[in-house]
């Protein structure tokens, strides 16, 4: 969408923007000079969008190799006096914590904003952690927008707050902000500063204990100051509702209150209006530190207050503590009373259930019998690797090798597209914990005394992100493990972002191709081989050999992402090779499906039951290798031609 | 007004929603779009919630508050049925996408006739052969534009035909504008020609 996007629209214009785009625009309006990120759903395209416009606007945008590096680059820029932003999904905040908890002690010289995308519904995440705890832990303020306009405006404001307090500031968003679209009225763009300079101040930036200890007091003072600033925050708003009609604060009398944080406010507003409730509502944008005077006076006038928030009971805990501290008697209800759920995202129906319980009314339209009957027919769709995905070939080979070896074996997995290979029928990896865990966990399995072969699979992006120290550890500690690096030379899962193996950076400039094999060798691994993912015979043989080798070995299974192959073919106006089935030869045994489960497989009863190949086949040829009756071929290619040779025709 | 759009990855649900939302915004109407597009590039469930006018508050349509469903795939239509008011219109592309999980017996794709019956039990269903009409217009890629034509002709949408066409034009390559307009018109025609008495032909069991 380059050139068509709303990111560079003119001030005053009202455009449709995703929450991620709105955050990106807010940063441009703040005149951000350096932006960094590691791709992670749902936050990926905040920085991706900025990368497209960075060369023209003259600021720096990068995909860093991991989140820890990304925050350090951003903090270095903020130390040097220019505004910096780092974006991450919630799990990445675990990685930035090391730097963050010290950067709050040093403070920053220019605005440092951390955009964190929490995923309470776990659309694409291994857990559902609430990153507001990191704000509390590190003592960094947390802002939460309620919609796209606020996402943009608060992103810009976050830099101002950061500079006012000289602290990094979190902007917490969720998929319902990131991937939703809203009309957003644009403000003026600000020219980014490019004259950063790091001015030395060892008592501030050299955080050895002698210099760090005295600064703790300062941090406490900053938190107190932040509370007072948050009392005045323009997005913290109190409104009164009477019978569902909105009034300015104090125009009508209410004894029941609701504190709605971030994007829960529109849900609350809708429920209150539809049910015609009477309540005083505090729309809370500053979830840490709490605006204590604002909340204290809000509670003081009420008998009962419901806390509505997504994630853990972060606000609820603080409000309870504040009420106790200020001797306020209002009853506080929320997650602790199980009136609101502890897990999953909120929606109007869930908020409606909670408020309905209090007021004895019903918001949720019940599903009547015909709807319930219809629901019974619904079937889940089991996710699969894309058609033509090289990971499928790699898993197929690993499975074959383990089967042929007959010694069992475990495959410690990592985090990436290849997670789809955990589903049936491939079931190719046995764990998925966090970025980089595969190699070290395989070492742990080996050191447990297990007699089975211990394998690990990890993608190239994940290997650069967090696999290198684990592999070095395996060399140093002599783990007998076999590591497969699935190398498609791109960060595919989040939508093809560049990484050190891609040969270009986020801003489209050439970058050195990292030689993965040399990196692995340099770590001290003696057995390293690069094999085309679709050369399954070679891959099977190599896995069988390497599990016997006493020491760590690495097999780099390399082939470009199928979607990249398709895109390149389309660009060059070349036709996609498609497999065809010889209906006479196909017996309908489904061996191909059972072995590799490709989504391009279809089924037909006409004229007899047989396997079909659907139009989105891209001719990787893996299924040809599985058919016991040679019923599958790719026209125009020689008999027995495999995906690897077909793929070779496609340049990177 | 609350509109739900549903399909599988590759159907163009997200793009279609954006086109309608942009057209609405151009006409000065407030809009919100909530989307879920999970992991799968292709074949995974995709749904978006489009809220227009006074309903444009939160991004999610509450249960049974939906005024309309534009469904690109039968099973996905069924999945979102709970979001619809009784009697709300459903425009359905009747081309099923049966995943390999069904062929392997890991899940069972329901009979399309049965799906249609269940939808008709509560909703005002208009089914369209959008996939084939798109092919007729030049490419299966334009299935979503056929659906947009049908939606426009249904007169349920508070957005003018011209605004929709302008939003489509702004989104597609210059060389494809004419073909897309043709797809749109085929969709409109499909609505006009649609007959309520259409009997669902039993499908062979494709999932086994």
CB contact under 8 A, A374 and B119: yes
Smallest CA–CA distance, residue A65 to chain B, in Å, is: 22
Q: Which of A40, A178, A181 to mutate to test the interface with B (most CBs of B within 10 A)?
A: A181
The interface predicted TM-score of the complex, written ipTM, equals: 0.94
From the list B35, B41, B38, B76, the residue with the least C-alpha distance to A123 is B38
Say yes or no: A322 and A438 in one domain: no
Say yes or no: A191 and A52 in one domain: yes
Say yes or no: A215 and A150 in one domain: yes
Domain annotation covers residue B203: no
Domain end residue (candidates: A231, A246, A263): A231
Domain annotation covers residue B205: no
CB contact under 8 A, A365 and B63: yes
Say yes or no: A75 and A218 in one domain: yes
The residues, any chain, with a CB within 8 Å of residue A200's CB and separated by 6 or more, are none
Widest distance between CA atoms in chain A = 83
Q: What is the pLDDT of residues A135-169, one digit of tens each?
A: 999 999 999 999 999 999 999 999 999 999 999 99
Domain annotation covers residue A74: yes
Domain annotation covers residue A38: yes
CA distance A584 to A603: 14
Q: Which of B62, B90, B105, B206 to mutate to test the interface with A (most CBs of A within 10 A)?
A: B62
Q: What is the pLDDT of residues A99-134, one digit of tens each?
A: 999 999 999 999 999 999 999 999 889 999 999 999
Say yes or no: A226 and A242 in one domain: no
CB A173 within 8 A of CB A133: no
CA atoms A356, A359, A362, A363: torsion sign? negative
CB contact under 8 A, B41 and A386: yes
In this structure, the strands spanning B31-37 and B45-52 are antiparallel
pLDDT confidence of residue B41: 61
CB contact under 8 A, A602 and B98: yes
Q: What is the pLDDT of residues B142-152, one digit of tens each?
A: 999 999 999 99
Domain annotation covers residue A365: no
pLDDT confidence of residue A651: 37
Say yes or no: A429 and A334 in one domain: no
User: For residue A270, what are its two tokens?
Assistant: 């809708």
CB A116 within 8 A of CB A131: yes
Domain annotation covers residue A543: yes
CA distance A491 to A501: 9
Say yes or no: A13 and A153 in one domain: yes
User: For residue B206, what are its two tokens?
Assistant: 């494709």
Say yes or no: A443 and A525 in one domain: yes
pLDDT confidence of residue A618: 87
* DSSP classification of residue B42: S
H or E segment at B24? helix B13-26
CA distance A414 to A420: 11
Domain boundaries, position A208: 6-231
Residue B203 above 60 pLDDT?
Answer: no
Domain annotation covers residue A506: yes
User: For residue A609, what are its two tokens?
Assistant: 């039951």
Smallest CA–CA distance, residue A427 to chain B, in Å, is: 13
Say yes or no: A491 and A615 in one domain: no
From the list A211, A159, A151, A218, the residue with the least C-alpha distance to A185 is A151
A468: domain CATH number? 3.40.50.970
pLDDT confidence of residue A343: 93
* DSSP classification of residue A220: H
Say yes or no: A396 and A495 in one domain: yes
Say yes or no: A437 and A544 in one domain: yes
pLDDT confidence of residue A652: 38
Domain annotation covers residue A385: no
User: For residue A161, what are its two tokens?
Assistant: 């707050």
Pick out chain A residues at pLDDT < 70. 1-4, 637-652
Domain boundaries, position B87: 2-193
Identify all chain A residues contacting B20, using CB atoms and an 8 Å cutoff.
none
A252: domain CATH number? 3.40.50.920
CB contact under 8 A, A593 and B100: yes
The residues, any chain, with a CB within 8 Å of residue A403's CB and separated by 6 or more, are none
Peptide bond into A423 cis (omega under 30): no
B142: domain CATH number? 3.40.920.10
Angle CA A120–A88–A5, to nearest 5: 100
Domain annotation covers residue B46: yes
Number of domains into which chain A is organized = 4
Domain end residue (candidates: A205, A231, A257): A231
Alpha helix (H) ranges present in B27-158?
A: 74-79, 100-103, 112-120, 130-137, 143-153
pLDDT confidence of residue B10: 84
CB contact under 8 A, B36 and A594: no
pLDDT confidence of residue A460: 96
Say yes or no: A514 and A536 in one domain: yes
Domain end residue (candidates: A216, A231, A246): A231
CB B164 within 8 A of CB B20: yes
Domain annotation covers residue B204: no
Number of domains into which chain B is organized = 1
């Amino acid at each position: 969408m380059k050139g068509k996007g709303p990111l560079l629209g003119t001030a005053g214009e009202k455009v449709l923007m995703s929450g991620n785009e709105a955050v990106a625009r807010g940063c441009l309006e703040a005149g951000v000079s350096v932006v960094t990120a590691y791709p992670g759903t749902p936050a990926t395209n905040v920085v991706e969008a900025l990368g497209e416009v960075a060369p023209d606007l003259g600021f720096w945008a990068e995909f860093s190799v991991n989140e820890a590096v990304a925050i350090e680059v951003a903090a270095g820029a903020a130390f040097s006096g220019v505004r910096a932003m780092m974006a991450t999904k919630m799990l990445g905040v675990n990685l930035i914590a090391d730097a963050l908890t010290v950067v709050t002690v040093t403070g920053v010289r220019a605005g440092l904003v951390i955009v964190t995308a929490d995923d309470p519904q776990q659309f694409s995440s291994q857990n559902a952690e609430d990153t507001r705890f990191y704000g509390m832990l590190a003592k960094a303020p947390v802002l939460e927008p309620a919609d796209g306009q606020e996402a943009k405006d608060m992103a810009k404001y976050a830099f101002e707050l950061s500079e006012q307090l000289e602290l990094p500031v979190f902007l917490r968003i969720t998929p319902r902000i990131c991937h939703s679209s809203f009309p957003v009225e644009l403000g003026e763009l600000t020219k980014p500063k490019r004259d950063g300079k790091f001015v030395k101040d060892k008592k501030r930036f050299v955080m050895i204990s002698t210099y760090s200890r005295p600064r703790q007091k300062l941090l406490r003072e900053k938190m107190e100051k932040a509370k007072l600033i948050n009392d005045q925050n323009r997005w913290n708003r109190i409104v009164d509702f009477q019978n569902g009609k909105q009034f300015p604060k104090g125009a009508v009398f209410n004894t029941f209150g609701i504190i709605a944080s971030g994007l829960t406010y529109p849900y609350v507003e809708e429920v209150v209006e539809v049910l015609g409730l009477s309540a005083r509502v505090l729309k809370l944008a500053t979830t840490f530190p709490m605006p204590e005077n604002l909340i204290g006076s809000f509670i003081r006038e009420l008998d009962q207050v419901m806390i509505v928030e997504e994630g853990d009971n972060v606000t609820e805990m603080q409000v309870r503590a504040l009420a106790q501290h200020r001797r306020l008697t209002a009853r506080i209800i929320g997650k602790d009373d199980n009136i609101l759920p502890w897990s999953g995202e909120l929606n109007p129906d869930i908020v409606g259930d909670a408020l309905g319980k209090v007021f004895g009314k019903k918001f949720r339209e019940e599903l009547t019998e015909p709807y319930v009957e219809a629901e019974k027919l619904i079937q889940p769709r089991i996710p699969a690797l894309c058609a033509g995905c090289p990971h499928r070939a790699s898993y197929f080979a690993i499975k074959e090798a383990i089967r042929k070896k007959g010694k069992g074996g475990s495959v410690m997995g990592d985090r990436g597209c290849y997670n789809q290979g955990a589903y049936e029928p491939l079931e190719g990896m046995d764990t998925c914990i966090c970025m980089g865990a595969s190699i070290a966990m395989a070492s742990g399995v080996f050191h447990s005394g297990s007699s089975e072969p211990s394998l690990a699979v990890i993608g190239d992006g994940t290997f650069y992100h967090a696999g290198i120290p684990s592999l070095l550890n395996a060399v140093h500690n002599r783990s007998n493990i076999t590591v497969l690096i699935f190398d498609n030379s791109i960060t595919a899962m989040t939508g093809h972002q560049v990484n050190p193996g891609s040969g270009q950076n986020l801003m489209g400039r050439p970058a050195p191709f990292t030689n993965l094999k040399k990196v692995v060798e340099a770590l001290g691994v003696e057995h390293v081989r690069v094999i085309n993912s679709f050369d399954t015979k070679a891959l099977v043989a190599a896995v069988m050999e390497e599990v016997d080798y006493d020491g760590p070995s690495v097999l780099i299974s390399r082939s470009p992402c199928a979607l990249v192959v398709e895109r390149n073919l389309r660009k060059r106006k070349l036709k996609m090779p498609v497999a065809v089935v010889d209906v006479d030869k196909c017996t309908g045994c489904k061996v191909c499906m059972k072995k590799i489960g490709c989504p391009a497989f279809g089924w037909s009863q006409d004229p007899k039951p047989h396997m079909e190949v659907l139009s989105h086949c891209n001719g990787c040829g893996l299924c040809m290798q599985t058919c016991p009756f040679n019923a599958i071929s790719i026209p125009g290619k020689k008999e027995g031609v495999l995906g690897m040779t077909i793929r070779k025709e496609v340049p990177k | 007004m609350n509109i739900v759009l549903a399909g599988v990855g590759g159907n163009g649900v997200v793009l279609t929603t954006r086109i309608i939302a942009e057209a609405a915004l151009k006409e000065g109407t407030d809009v919100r779009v909530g989307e879920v597009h999970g992991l799968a590039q292709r074949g995974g469930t995709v749904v978006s919630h489009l809220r227009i006018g006074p309903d444009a508050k939160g991004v999610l349509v509450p249960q049974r508050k939906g005024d309309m469903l534009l469904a690109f795939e039968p099973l996905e239509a069924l999945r979102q049925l709970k979001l619809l008011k009784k009697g709300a219109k459903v425009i359905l592309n009747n081309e099923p996408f049966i995943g390999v999980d069904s062929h392997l017996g890991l899940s069972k794709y329901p009979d399309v006739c049965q799906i249609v019956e269940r939808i008709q039990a509560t909703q005002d269903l208009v089914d369209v052969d959008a996939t084939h009409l798109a092919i007729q217009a030049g490419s299966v890629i334009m299935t979503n534009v056929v659906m947009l034509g049908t939606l426009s002709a249904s007169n349920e949408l508070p957005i003018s035909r011209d605004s929709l066409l302008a939003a489509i034009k702004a989104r597609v390559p210059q060389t494809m504008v004419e073909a897309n307009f043709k797809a749109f018109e085929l969709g409109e025609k499909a609505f006009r020609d649609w007959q309520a008495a259409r009997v669902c032909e039993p499908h062979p069991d494709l999932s086994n």
